[in-house]
A = this chain, B = another copy of it.
Amino acid sequence: MATKARERLLETAEELFYAEGIRAVGVERILAESGVGRASFYRHFASKDDLVVAVLQRRDEAWRAWLAERVDALGGEPLDVFNALAERFTRADFRGCAFINTMAETADTESGAYRVAAEHKERVTTYVAGLLAQNGHAAPDELARRFVLLMDGAIVTALRERTPAAANEACTLAAAMLTSDRP
């Protein structure tokens, strides 16, 4: 067995969903591109929706692990999240935030996909709050909420401008917020 079919399905689906959108990618495409048989697909996932949820959960963990790793490598300060984002924005395959995109194209807020996406943002917020607390900032929860607002604003801006400039601007705004916090 080359690679496990399930793993190949998750990898292929993640790439395609992120690049073209969840609804735009049919099961057919995923099967063709992954080389997995139709029957095997439905042995691993009850439905396409199941696959979508699994893909998003997987990406949530990978994304947050990546962020923590990059922030740590860049110095471990809260503002480094924007430097990490700037790196993402320059990637050729950058297509915004997979979770924002999911919420944008998934109307049903009760669906599994929407839930996982919303949860991802909360977890990122929690991570940023920890980072802020760790660096001695007061009211880390409130600051973290604004950090994520700036991060999402930067991501959406980068998606339409296709340049990493937005990361720096958001960083500047965040820096002003932090300094005004403790003069």
Contacts and interface: CB of A to CB of B under 8 A. Distances in A.
Given A95-B107, A150-B173, A156-B152, A23 B23 contact: yes
A118 interface: yes
A118 B157 CA distance: 10
Copies of this chain, complex-wide, total 2
A19 interface: yes
A154 B154 CA distance: 11
A13 B84 CA distance: 39
Given A23-B23, A104-B100, A107-B19, A156 B153 contact: yes
Given A150-B173, A173-B177, A156 B107 contact: no
A52 interface: no
B166 A157 contact: no
Interface stretch (A32-40, A70-78, A141-149): A141-149
Contacts of A21: 23, 104-107
A46 to B, nearest CB: 21
A116 to B, nearest CB: 12
Given A23-B105, A24-B23, A107-B19, A149 B176 contact: no
A104 B96 CA distance: 7
B107 A104 contact: no
A103 interface: yes
A81 to B, nearest CB: 14
Nearest 10 A/B pairs, CB to CB: A153-B153, A104-B104, A101-B104, A105-B105, A149-B153, A20-B107, A152-B156, A23-B23, A21-B105, A149-B157
Interface of A: 19-21, 23-24, 95-96, 100-101, 103-107, 109, 117-118, 121, 145-146, 148-154, 156-157, 159-160, 162, 166, 169-170, 172-173, 176-177, 180
